[in-house]
Amino acid sequence: MGRLVDEVVAGMPEAEVVQRIGSADPLLFAVEVDAVVDVTLPQVSPEVVAAATTEGLPVLVGTSGWSGERIGSLRAGRDESAPPVLIVPNFSVGAVLAARFAEQAATWFESIEIVEAHHAGKADSPSGTAVATAERIAAARADLGPVSAPHTDQRARGQQVGSVPIHSLRLDGVQAKQDVLFGGPGELLTVRHETTSPVAYAAGIRLAIAALPGLTGVTVGLESLLLR
């Protein structure tokens, strides 16, 4: 993702990469830096955001692991003068739309589960996209209660997020794929999105970087920019 961000910014006349920080480098920002893009690891990302905002720098977060609870803690610890933070679980336009469709379907079905698959090198599971999707489903069902998910005490039944079981696959030969399955009497609805190449993220990265300076507070999701 870092290389892809580099390539996207190289094609933006209004932006340029002035510093690259790797895992072995100190978390210090050059004076030329106007904003930070974080594409690290879930355990490192909060440190990057804290360091950047302490320096008064806006931050675009493209790292998984920012659950609703973690985002809530970030919001609770901020004051009005703090620089903006934009958290994007998935830069794919198709993934954003798929999550919106799943949210719309959530109130029509009682039985809902998510199966997500990513490449074998992905460090976290469930994916940030799956967690965000499950949280949106739970929010849409706030007045209806949890989904119907039997036998969740069994390990093979996945990890529950907002009462929605999530099953994570990590396989060679896969880039990123997510199925949200909705079961009803006599029918099954599947909302599926698959990324076949990282180029799918380029448009979202470009949009997020361009929008970051004009934001305030903590903004979550590319849909806040696409579907306004």
Angstrom distance (rounded) from CA 57 to CA 68: 23
Would you say 23 and 45 are in contact if contact means Cβ atoms under 8 Å apart?
no
177 included as an active-site residue = no
The first and second tokens of residue 105, run together, are 């379907």
Pairing of strands 159-161, 111-119: unpaired
118 included as an active-site residue = yes
Report which of 178, 217, 180 is spatially closest to residue 82, judged by C-alpha positions. 217
Could you identify the residue written with the tokens 């720098």?
57
Instruction: Identify the helix (H) or strand (E) that includes residue 140.
Output: helix 128-140
Q: Which residue of the set 122, 151, 167, 177 is catalytic?
A: 122
- Nearest-5° Cα angle at 212, 210 to 216: 150
Strand order in the sheet with 85-87: 36-38, 59-61, 85-87, 218-220
Angstrom distance (rounded) from CA 71 to CA 59: 14
Catalytic positions, written as ranges: 118, 122
